[in-house]
Amino acid sequence: MPLELPPLPTPHGDKIAALAANEKLPPEDRERVRDAQATYESWRSECLSSSGTPEVVTDRLVTLLQEYKRYIDLDLIFDSPKDWLYRQKGRGDTTPLVRCPP
């Protein structure tokens, strides 16, 4: 019988959802943030479905995290046509932008 995990928190998914709902988000970034939501869900699913030896799982999770962090930092924030997303990083919240699900 496989081990069942309790529901895991989704702090980064919650942040992306709040960002998508933010009325101050520039219209030019709305589609990019919706894409980021889909990318987050895909990344989270891949993390949760990783299997194998502890070494294999660790390597896979590190690779997934690096790819996802690069996407968020470069593709979403840095490549944004406006600098609004870039200016939001670190404002009033010290929670890391990217955190791999436990």
Location of structure tokens 């702090």? 11
Q: Is the pLDDT of residue 15 over 70?
A: yes
Q: Could you tell me if 99 and 8 are in contact, meaning their C-beta atoms sit under 8 angstroms apart?
A: no
pLDDT digits (tens, 9 = 90+) for 27-79: 999 999 999 999 999 999 999 999 999 999 999 999 999 999 999 999 998 98
pTM of the model: 0.77
- Name the residue among 78, 86, 96, 85 with its Cα closest to residue 30: 85
Q: Report pLDDT for 3.
A: 62
Compare 63 and 89 and report the one with higher pLDDT.
63
Alpha carbon dihedral 69, 56, 38, 10, in 10-degree steps, equals -80
Domain ranges of the chain: 12-20+27-88
Q: How far apart are CA 78 and CA 3, in angstroms?
A: 40
Angle CA(26)–CA(31)–CA(35) in degrees, nearest 5? 130
